[in-house]
Amino acid sequence: MARSGGEPSTRQRGREAEAVAEAWLVRRGFEVLARNHATRRGEVDLICREGTVLCFVEVRSRARSGFGTPAETVTRAKARRVVAAATDWALRHGGLDREMRFDVVSVLTGPGEPALELIRAAFDEAGNPAP
């Protein structure tokens, strides 16, 4: 839904970034298993498989990098919410016995084509950032 002035809402821009990230991951060999799995405790944007690894992907976007990269906006609290939703999905779909990873896809929009970056294992199951 566009706001007054015709600009897309934050939610719409987020959904567009998720769609761009999804297509980009698929081109790199990821299989998308689910999108936007939400629970009371959190949400995970994309659930993918890369080889035998179950990947829970948080997509973050920004129009400019002047205040840091999109990936830098993933706080420990946000990571913990992703982990909570990922755990719920894995419980419901028999994924707890598989290797799991928490990734972030950074989408930098602006003039021209978006710039994307995949950060594999960006945080652990406790929400701690990768060293």
pLDDT digits (tens, 9 = 90+) for 7-20: 678 788 889 999 99
CATH architecture, domain 10-123: 3-Layer(aba) Sandwich (3.40)
The structural domains of the chain, with segments of one domain joined by +, span 10-123
Q: Which pLDDT score is estimated for 6?
A: 61
pLDDT digits (tens, 9 = 90+) for 105-114: 999 987 888 9
Query: At 78, is the pLDDT very low, low, confident or very high (cuts 50, 70, 90)?
Result: very high
Residue 67 has pLDDT above 90, yes or no: no
pLDDT digits (tens, 9 = 90+) for 46-55: 999 999 999 9
pLDDT digits (tens, 9 = 90+) for 28-63: 999 999 999 999 999 999 999 999 999 999 999 988
Residue 49 contacts residue 33 (beta carbons within 8 Å): yes
Q: Which pLDDT score is estimated for 84?
A: 97
Say which residues have a Cβ less than 8 Å from residue 12's Cβ, sequence separation at least 6.
Answer: 1, 2
Q: Quick one: what percent of the chain has pLDDT higher than 70? A: 93
